[in-house]
Amino acid sequence: MIEITSLGSSSAGNAYRITDGKTPLLLDAGLRYKDIQRGLAFQVSSLVGCLVSHEHGDHTLAVKDLIRAGVDIYTSAGTADALRINGHRVRLLQALQPITIGTWSILPFDTEHDAAEPFGFLLANSAGDKLLFATDTYYIKHRFSGLTHIMIECNYSIQILNQNIAAGRVPAVMKHRLLRSHFSLENVKEFIKANDMRRVQEIHLLHLSDNNSDEALFKREIMALTGKQVFVAGR
């Protein structure tokens, strides 16, 4: 059993609570600390840790508050350096070096983003569930088998982006950054086709762009491709 709760999923801030019923974790902490407190029903102390994907503020706003609250932060050395965080609450991870947090076995893996040392995470529990968390990346070179839950960025559609640029709603200069930093609907589809989807129960689409996405379209297309339950993470 895996339970996923989105506390926020947009350019304004990203944070997600996951639990296997035994070990609750936070994935990213890009909201104000008081909003995270509210999202967790003021039970921050129940968290066993927080995994941080990269240093950008919409994923890390509350990191230092969480450290002060006694929550361990798990992230790459590059991300920790960029955030200027250290101390016994900061646990440094290495790509493809597994760790254990409570009942979770966690494999960090490298992603592609304009950040110091960005990571995605593969989390497995004792019941045999496997959760993939990947955000703020334009490509994932790794392949995964036996996934049961997928949390993946689906930031924009290249077709919608091109329409917005042509109409003058989005500056053309934004296109290059998006292509080299965020996961598009088109790339999500290619990732799904390249991976083992047989055991997947749920797919959660994360971090949709305010301007260059279409929630209903994205959900419909991923459902049609996979035949799985698809959710768009709450903003």
In the chain, what percentage of residues exceed pLDDT 90? 91
Contact between 41 and 122 under an 8 Å Cβ cutoff? The reply is no
Would you say residue 178 has pLDDT above 90? no
Can you give the CATH number for the domain in which 213 is found?
3.60.15.10
List, for residues 108-125, the tens digit of each pLDDT value. 999 999 899 999 999 999
3-state secondary structure of 144: coil
Would you say residue 41 has pLDDT above 80? yes
What is the pLDDT of the chain when averaged over all its residues?
Answer: 95
Mean pLDDT of all residues in 19-48: 97
Rounded Cα distance between 139 and 127, Å, is 29
List, for residues 122-136, the tens digit of each pLDDT value. 999 999 999 999 999
Predicted model pTM: 0.96
pLDDT of residue 146: 97
Mean pLDDT of all residues in 208-231: 96
Mean pLDDT of all residues in 89-94: 98
Would you say residue 11 has pLDDT above 70? yes
Domain range enclosing 13: 3-232
Number of folded domains in the chain? 1
pLDDT band at 151 (very low <50, low <70, confident <90, very high): very high
In the chain, what percentage of residues exceed pLDDT 70? 100
